[in-house]
Structure 1
Amino acid sequence: MARIIHAGETPAKRRRAHTRASAEALRLLAERPSLAAGAFDPEAKDLVGYLVYQLRGIGETIEDAAQSWDDRNYWRKSEKLRADYRWAPQTADQLEALVVADDWDAVVPVLVSLIPRFADVTIAKMTRDADHWVGAHRALLRRAEKAAA
Protein backbone atom coordinates (compact mmCIF):
# COMPACT_ATOMS: atom_id res chain seq x y z
CA MET A 1 0.00 0.00 0.00
CA ALA A 2 1.32 3.44 -0.90
CA ARG A 3 2.01 6.09 1.66
CA ILE A 4 -0.66 8.78 2.00
CA ILE A 5 0.68 12.30 1.72
CA HIS A 6 -1.47 15.17 2.93
CA ALA A 7 -0.43 18.12 0.79
CA GLY A 8 -3.30 20.30 1.95
CA GLU A 9 -3.84 22.31 5.08
CA THR A 10 -1.80 20.89 7.95
CA PRO A 11 -1.38 22.18 11.51
CA ALA A 12 2.29 22.94 10.81
CA LYS A 13 1.40 24.98 7.73
CA ARG A 14 -1.23 26.94 9.65
CA ARG A 15 1.20 27.44 12.55
CA ARG A 16 3.82 28.89 10.18
CA ALA A 17 1.22 31.27 8.77
CA HIS A 18 0.16 32.41 12.27
CA THR A 19 3.81 32.75 13.31
CA ARG A 20 4.62 34.90 10.29
CA ALA A 21 1.54 37.06 10.83
CA SER A 22 2.51 37.53 14.48
CA ALA A 23 6.06 38.46 13.54
CA GLU A 24 4.80 41.01 11.02
CA ALA A 25 2.43 42.53 13.57
CA LEU A 26 5.23 42.77 16.13
CA ARG A 27 7.49 44.41 13.59
CA LEU A 28 4.86 46.99 12.68
CA LEU A 29 4.27 47.72 16.36
CA ALA A 30 8.01 48.04 16.99
CA GLU A 31 8.30 50.63 14.23
CA ARG A 32 5.94 52.97 16.08
CA PRO A 33 7.97 55.33 18.28
CA SER A 34 4.90 56.41 20.27
CA LEU A 35 4.47 52.94 21.78
CA ALA A 36 7.51 53.35 24.02
CA ALA A 37 5.52 56.02 25.85
CA GLY A 38 2.44 53.77 25.95
CA ALA A 39 0.48 55.83 23.40
CA PHE A 40 -1.56 53.44 21.26
CA ASP A 41 -3.40 54.86 18.28
CA PRO A 42 -6.42 52.98 16.84
CA GLU A 43 -4.28 51.08 14.31
CA ALA A 44 -1.83 49.97 17.02
CA LYS A 45 -4.78 48.75 19.11
CA ASP A 46 -6.03 46.79 16.10
CA LEU A 47 -2.56 45.27 15.64
CA VAL A 48 -2.51 44.13 19.27
CA GLY A 49 -5.97 42.59 18.84
CA TYR A 50 -4.80 40.89 15.66
CA LEU A 51 -1.77 39.56 17.52
CA VAL A 52 -4.05 38.05 20.18
CA TYR A 53 -5.98 36.16 17.50
CA GLN A 54 -2.76 34.96 15.83
CA LEU A 55 -1.36 33.69 19.15
CA ARG A 56 -4.60 31.81 19.76
CA GLY A 57 -4.28 30.32 16.28
CA ILE A 58 -0.78 29.08 17.12
CA GLY A 59 -2.17 27.42 20.25
CA GLU A 60 -4.95 25.71 18.30
CA THR A 61 -2.53 24.28 15.75
CA ILE A 62 -0.33 22.92 18.52
CA GLU A 63 -3.18 20.94 20.00
CA ASP A 64 -4.13 19.58 16.56
CA ALA A 65 -0.57 18.49 15.84
CA ALA A 66 -0.03 17.07 19.31
CA GLN A 67 -3.23 15.06 19.05
CA SER A 68 -2.05 13.48 15.81
CA TRP A 69 1.23 12.51 17.54
CA ASP A 70 -0.77 11.09 20.46
CA ASP A 71 -2.82 8.99 18.04
CA ARG A 72 0.41 7.40 16.81
CA ASN A 73 1.62 6.80 20.40
CA TYR A 74 4.40 9.37 20.13
CA TRP A 75 3.44 10.85 23.46
CA ARG A 76 6.89 12.28 24.21
CA LYS A 77 6.87 14.23 20.98
CA SER A 78 3.35 15.50 21.58
CA GLU A 79 4.14 16.61 25.14
CA LYS A 80 7.32 18.36 23.99
CA LEU A 81 5.32 20.19 21.32
CA ARG A 82 2.73 21.29 23.88
CA ALA A 83 5.43 22.40 26.31
CA ASP A 84 7.35 24.34 23.64
CA TYR A 85 4.28 26.36 22.64
CA ARG A 86 2.41 26.64 25.94
CA TRP A 87 3.37 30.32 25.99
CA ALA A 88 1.21 31.24 22.98
CA PRO A 89 -2.32 30.85 24.40
CA GLN A 90 -1.14 32.09 27.81
CA THR A 91 0.25 35.27 26.27
CA ALA A 92 -2.92 35.69 24.19
CA ASP A 93 -5.03 35.51 27.36
CA GLN A 94 -2.73 37.95 29.14
CA LEU A 95 -2.83 40.44 26.26
CA GLU A 96 -6.59 40.13 25.94
CA ALA A 97 -7.07 40.84 29.64
CA LEU A 98 -4.88 43.94 29.38
CA VAL A 99 -6.70 45.18 26.27
CA VAL A 100 -10.13 44.67 27.81
CA ALA A 101 -8.98 46.43 31.00
CA ASP A 102 -7.64 49.27 28.80
CA ASP A 103 -4.24 48.95 30.50
CA TRP A 104 -2.08 49.92 27.53
CA ASP A 105 0.97 50.74 29.65
CA ALA A 106 1.19 47.07 30.67
CA VAL A 107 0.85 45.87 27.06
CA VAL A 108 4.28 47.17 26.02
CA PRO A 109 6.33 44.82 28.29
CA VAL A 110 4.28 41.84 27.08
CA LEU A 111 4.97 42.80 23.47
CA VAL A 112 8.67 43.15 24.23
CA SER A 113 8.69 39.70 25.83
CA LEU A 114 7.29 38.25 22.58
CA ILE A 115 10.14 39.51 20.40
CA PRO A 116 12.54 36.62 21.17
CA ARG A 117 9.79 34.10 20.35
CA PHE A 118 9.68 35.37 16.77
CA ALA A 119 13.35 36.24 16.30
CA ASP A 120 13.90 33.34 13.90
CA VAL A 121 11.21 34.58 11.48
CA THR A 122 12.79 36.45 8.58
CA ILE A 123 10.63 39.19 7.12
CA ALA A 124 12.06 40.48 3.86
CA LYS A 125 8.74 41.87 2.67
CA MET A 126 5.45 42.45 4.45
CA THR A 127 2.82 40.09 3.06
CA ARG A 128 -0.18 41.42 4.97
CA ASP A 129 -1.80 44.81 4.75
CA ALA A 130 -4.14 46.67 7.08
CA ASP A 131 -7.16 44.74 5.81
CA HIS A 132 -6.06 41.82 7.97
CA TRP A 133 -6.11 43.64 11.31
CA VAL A 134 -8.62 46.47 10.90
CA GLY A 135 -11.37 45.96 13.47
CA ALA A 136 -9.50 43.32 15.50
CA HIS A 137 -9.56 45.49 18.63
CA ARG A 138 -13.31 45.98 18.38
CA ALA A 139 -13.82 42.25 17.74
CA LEU A 140 -11.73 41.42 20.80
CA LEU A 141 -13.82 43.75 22.97
CA ARG A 142 -17.05 42.24 21.63
CA ARG A 143 -15.74 38.75 22.35
CA ALA A 144 -15.00 39.79 25.94
CA GLU A 145 -18.48 41.30 26.32
CA LYS A 146 -20.10 38.07 25.13
CA ALA A 147 -17.95 36.02 27.49
CA ALA A 148 -18.91 38.24 30.41
CA ALA A 149 -22.64 38.04 29.59
Structure 2
Amino acid sequence: MSRVINTDGSGKQRTQLSKAVLIAIRELAAKKQIDDEARDMAAFLSLALSQIDATVDTSVKAWEKRDYWLKADQFRMQWAWAQVSAKKVREAVLLNDWGELAVLMPEIAARLNTIKLPKSNTVGKPWTGALAELKRRGAGDKMTR
Protein backbone atom coordinates (compact mmCIF):
# COMPACT_ATOMS: atom_id res chain seq x y z
CA MET A 1 0.00 0.00 0.00
CA SER A 2 1.39 3.41 -0.89
CA ARG A 3 1.65 6.43 1.33
CA VAL A 4 -1.17 9.00 1.32
CA ILE A 5 0.09 12.52 0.65
CA ASN A 6 -1.96 15.45 1.83
CA THR A 7 -1.67 18.12 -0.87
CA ASP A 8 -3.64 20.68 1.10
CA GLY A 9 -1.42 20.99 4.15
CA SER A 10 -1.39 23.62 6.83
CA GLY A 11 1.46 25.52 5.14
CA LYS A 12 -0.51 25.87 1.93
CA GLN A 13 -3.61 26.87 3.87
CA ARG A 14 -1.59 29.47 5.80
CA THR A 15 -0.23 30.93 2.54
CA GLN A 16 -3.71 31.11 1.00
CA LEU A 17 -5.11 32.79 4.10
CA SER A 18 -2.20 35.23 4.17
CA LYS A 19 -2.88 36.20 0.57
CA ALA A 20 -6.58 36.64 1.33
CA VAL A 21 -5.73 38.83 4.34
CA LEU A 22 -3.44 41.03 2.25
CA ILE A 23 -6.05 41.36 -0.49
CA ALA A 24 -8.69 42.26 2.10
CA ILE A 25 -6.36 44.90 3.56
CA ARG A 26 -5.69 46.29 0.07
CA GLU A 27 -9.40 46.42 -0.78
CA LEU A 28 -10.31 47.88 2.61
CA ALA A 29 -7.66 50.58 2.32
CA ALA A 30 -9.09 51.57 -1.06
CA LYS A 31 -12.58 52.05 0.40
CA LYS A 32 -13.73 55.66 0.56
CA GLN A 33 -16.46 55.07 3.11
CA ILE A 34 -17.36 52.46 5.68
CA ASP A 35 -20.18 50.26 4.45
CA ASP A 36 -21.32 46.69 5.07
CA GLU A 37 -18.64 45.28 2.79
CA ALA A 38 -15.94 47.20 4.68
CA ARG A 39 -17.24 45.79 7.96
CA ASP A 40 -17.21 42.29 6.46
CA MET A 41 -13.62 42.80 5.29
CA ALA A 42 -12.52 43.91 8.74
CA ALA A 43 -14.27 40.94 10.36
CA PHE A 44 -12.66 38.64 7.81
CA LEU A 45 -9.23 39.87 8.90
CA SER A 46 -9.91 38.67 12.43
CA LEU A 47 -11.34 35.32 11.35
CA ALA A 48 -8.52 34.63 8.88
CA LEU A 49 -5.82 35.56 11.39
CA SER A 50 -7.42 33.16 13.88
CA GLN A 51 -7.33 30.41 11.26
CA ILE A 52 -3.69 31.22 10.47
CA ASP A 53 -2.90 30.84 14.17
CA ALA A 54 -4.67 27.46 14.20
CA THR A 55 -2.48 26.18 11.33
CA VAL A 56 0.69 26.86 13.29
CA ASP A 57 0.12 24.04 15.78
CA THR A 58 -0.62 21.62 12.97
CA SER A 59 2.70 22.45 11.32
CA VAL A 60 4.62 22.22 14.57
CA LYS A 61 3.30 18.77 15.54
CA ALA A 62 5.39 17.05 12.86
CA TRP A 63 8.56 18.72 14.12
CA GLU A 64 7.78 17.87 17.73
CA LYS A 65 7.33 14.20 16.81
CA ARG A 66 10.92 14.26 15.53
CA ASP A 67 12.14 16.13 18.63
CA TYR A 68 12.88 19.35 16.73
CA TRP A 69 11.81 21.41 19.73
CA LEU A 70 13.91 24.46 18.91
CA LYS A 71 12.57 24.67 15.37
CA ALA A 72 9.01 24.24 16.63
CA ASP A 73 9.41 26.97 19.23
CA GLN A 74 10.97 29.35 16.71
CA PHE A 75 8.08 28.77 14.32
CA ARG A 76 5.54 29.40 17.08
CA MET A 77 7.29 32.65 18.02
CA GLN A 78 7.42 33.67 14.35
CA TRP A 79 3.63 33.37 14.07
CA ALA A 80 2.59 34.37 17.61
CA TRP A 81 1.56 37.81 16.35
CA ALA A 82 -1.37 36.29 14.41
CA GLN A 83 -3.37 35.41 17.52
CA VAL A 84 -2.69 38.78 19.17
CA SER A 85 -3.61 40.67 16.00
CA ALA A 86 -6.77 38.59 15.53
CA LYS A 87 -7.96 39.55 19.01
CA LYS A 88 -7.15 43.24 18.50
CA VAL A 89 -8.91 43.35 15.12
CA ARG A 90 -11.89 41.49 16.57
CA GLU A 91 -12.25 44.01 19.38
CA ALA A 92 -11.88 46.93 16.97
CA VAL A 93 -14.54 45.50 14.65
CA LEU A 94 -17.03 44.71 17.39
CA LEU A 95 -16.51 48.14 18.99
CA ASN A 96 -16.64 49.82 15.56
CA ASP A 97 -13.23 51.42 16.27
CA TRP A 98 -11.99 52.26 12.78
CA GLY A 99 -9.11 54.36 14.08
CA GLU A 100 -7.60 51.33 15.82
CA LEU A 101 -8.21 49.24 12.72
CA ALA A 102 -6.36 51.81 10.60
CA VAL A 103 -3.36 51.35 12.91
CA LEU A 104 -3.54 47.55 12.88
CA MET A 105 -3.83 47.04 9.11
CA PRO A 106 -0.32 48.30 8.24
CA GLU A 107 1.14 46.24 11.10
CA ILE A 108 -0.49 43.09 9.75
CA ALA A 109 0.58 43.89 6.19
CA ALA A 110 4.16 44.41 7.38
CA ARG A 111 4.16 40.97 9.01
CA LEU A 112 3.02 39.40 5.73
CA ASN A 113 5.37 41.37 3.49
CA THR A 114 7.05 38.24 2.12
CA ILE A 115 3.82 37.06 0.47
CA LYS A 116 3.62 37.92 -3.23
CA LEU A 117 0.21 39.03 -4.43
CA PRO A 118 -1.21 39.00 -7.93
CA LYS A 119 -2.14 42.37 -9.40
CA SER A 120 -5.81 41.46 -9.46
CA ASN A 121 -7.94 39.78 -6.85
CA THR A 122 -7.90 36.04 -7.55
CA VAL A 123 -9.54 34.86 -4.33
CA GLY A 124 -12.93 36.45 -4.95
CA LYS A 125 -14.68 37.92 -1.92
CA PRO A 126 -14.08 35.51 0.96
CA TRP A 127 -15.12 38.21 3.41
CA THR A 128 -18.81 38.09 2.43
CA GLY A 129 -20.80 37.42 5.60
CA ALA A 130 -17.74 37.53 7.85
CA LEU A 131 -19.21 40.10 10.25
CA ALA A 132 -22.21 37.88 10.98
CA GLU A 133 -19.86 34.93 11.56
CA LEU A 134 -17.65 36.99 13.88
CA LYS A 135 -20.66 38.12 15.89
CA ARG A 136 -21.95 34.54 16.03
CA ARG A 137 -18.60 33.32 17.35
CA GLY A 138 -18.50 36.23 19.79
CA ALA A 139 -21.87 35.21 21.19
CA GLY A 140 -20.59 31.66 21.57
CA ASP A 141 -17.52 32.91 23.47
CA LYS A 142 -19.71 34.82 25.92
CA MET A 143 -21.83 31.74 26.56
CA THR A 144 -18.80 29.60 27.45
CA ARG A 145 -17.39 32.08 29.98
Answering whether residue 117 of structure 2 is matched by residue 123 of structure 1, we say yes
Please name the residue that 1:66 is paired with. Answer: 60
Greater CA deviation, 4-13 or 59-68?
A: 4-13
Answering whether residue 27 of structure 2 is matched by residue 28 of structure 1, we say yes
Off by >3 Å, runs of 4+ in structure 1: none
| Per-residue CA distance 1:109-147 (angstroms, 9 max, x = gap) | 0112112112222222311223x2111012111211222
Given candidates 129, 139, 143, the residue that maps to 2:133 is 139
Distance 1:113 1:140 in 2: 21
Distance 1:30 1:118 in 2: 16
Greater CA deviation, 6-15 or 84-93?
A: 6-15
Provide the TM-score with structure 1 as the length reference: 0.86
SS in structure 2 at match of 1:85: helix
Q: CA deviation at 1:5?
A: 7.1
- CA pair 148-7 structure 1, distance change in 2 beyond 3 A: closer
Distance 2:92 2:45 in 1: 13
SS in structure 2 at match of 1:127: coil
| Per-residue CA distance 1:68-106 (angstroms, 9 max, x = gap) | 111110001100000000000110011111212222222
How many correspondences in the alignment? 141
Provide the TM-score with structure 2 as the length reference: 0.88
Distance 2:124 2:100 in 1: 26
For structure 2, which runs of at least 5 residues remain unmatched after alignment? Answer: none
State how 1:73-112 maps to structure 2 within 5 Å.
73-112=67-106
Give me the identity figure in percent.
25
One-letter amino acid of the counterpart of residue 26, structure 1: I
For structure 1, which runs of at least 5 residues remain unmatched after alignment? Answer: none
